[in-house]
Structure 1
Amino acid sequence: MDLLRLVAFDPEDLAVISAHLQDSLLQVGDIAYLPKERRFAIQIRRYDWEAATPQRRLTCMHFEHVKAVRVRGIDQSNKDAVLNLLAIAFDEKDAPSGTATLIFADGGAIQVDLECIEMQMKDIGPVWAAESRPQHEDLSRAERL
């Protein structure tokens, strides 16, 4: 498969990127907030859901037009800690501004306040075999409600 490169300018685009980034792994040390550049960036190990065999790809993602970043439930001093990205949600405040929330397993989250959505993800290589395919509990409809 060719390298994947996606750009988001609205909540629907961001939902597509979120699906591609589900179950990505990253280290706390691979997270960068650059307030002078108004950019938030992460280097991740993306699980390639489209590949025939379980594999991960080195991928970078970043948000532009960042006003602020808040972290909850993540020990920022432990740069080697591994986080599992479950999803990216967007809560529109005063269109086009809003907050993108990166939701991690074990309850951690990063909220990125944006003037508008301008986000990019890009595979940068390399590719390697994943130990297994990520699995999630299949909750019954009653449990989800």
Structure 2
Amino acid sequence: MQDARFEDGGERALKLVALDGEDLAVVSALVQDAVFPASEMSWDAGRRRFALLLNRFRWEDRSAAQARGRDVERVQSVLSVSDVLKVQSQGIEKGDADMILSVLSLSFVPGDDGMGRLELVLAGDGAIALEVEALDVTLQDVTRPYVAPSKHTPEHDMSA
């Protein structure tokens, strides 16, 4: 018997749930550099659910793609947050549905009795803050992977 390798996941769609800070760190790494138009962001106050339809860079496949000489990929994924009490944003133009946003990271600031604040940091000084009753984040791929239009791995300027 042999342990499964990371590469064995292949083309399978991701479906991950984050219920604590460690889980959220994994989801954050996977959504780094995901892009989405502002029109693909929704909050259903009645159901207390916030969701984003992201075009996620497939970080989990990057090494395999490079080793096999194939193009890197993106996939459409839904990032959903349950038990959302309040949504705030900064650096996002209200009414500009075509504005393209890019996720840098997700973090959770715990409060009292499991409550807290989920922060989505966006490129260009943007941010979305969700006051939540409990941390409950789901990341689910909803399409097959496709070749990243740029055909390049996202890069970050580390000098700043």
* TM-score with structure 1 setting the length: 0.92
Which residue pairs with 2:19 in the alignment?
9
1:23 paired with 2:33, answer yes
Match of 1:123 among 141, 147, 158: 141
Question: What is aligned with 2:55?
Answer: 45
Once residues 25 and 94 of structure 2 are traced to their aligned partners in structure 1, the CA distance between those partners, rounded to angstroms, is 26
Q: Distance in 2 between matches of 1:81 and 1:92?
A: 30
For residues 133 and 95 of structure 1, what CA distance do their matches in structure 2 show?
40
Q: 2:127 is matched by which residue type in structure 1? A: A
Aligned match of 1:137: 157
The CA deviation at 1:129 is 1.0
Contact kept in structure 1, 2:108 and 2:118, CA below 8 Å:
yes
Partner residue of 1:90 out of 108, 118, 121: 108
2:130 pairs with one of 95, 101, 112: 112
SS at match of 1:126: coil
Q: Secondary structure at the match of 2:112?
A: coil
* 1:32 corresponding residue in structure 2: 42
Instruction: Please give the secondary structure, in 1, of the residue aligned with 2:142.
Output: strand
Contact 2:13 2:144 in 1 (8 A): no
1:91-138, CA deviations, whole angstroms, 9 ceiling, x for partnerless residues? 111141100011000000000000001110100113211112100123
Q: Which moved more, 1:117-126 or 1:28-37?
A: 117-126
**Superposition CA RMSD, Å:** 1.1
Listed one character per residue, the Cα deviations across residues 17-47 of structure 1 (whole Å, up to 9, x for unaligned) are 0000000000100000110000001100000
Higher strand share: 1
TM-score (norm 2): 0.84
Moved over 6 A (4+): none
**Alignment-mate amino acid for residue 45 of structure 1:** N
Amino acid aligned to 2:157:
E
Q: 1:79 aligns with which of 87, 97, 119?
A: 97
Give the count of matched residue pairs: 140
Q: Which has the higher helix share?
A: 2
Question: Which of 43, 46, 58 is residue 76 of structure 2 equivalent to?
Answer: 58
Taking the aligned partners of 2:107 and 2:79, their CA distance within structure 1 comes to 15
Task: Write the distance in 1 (CA, Å) between the matches of 2:112 and 2:23.
Answer: 18
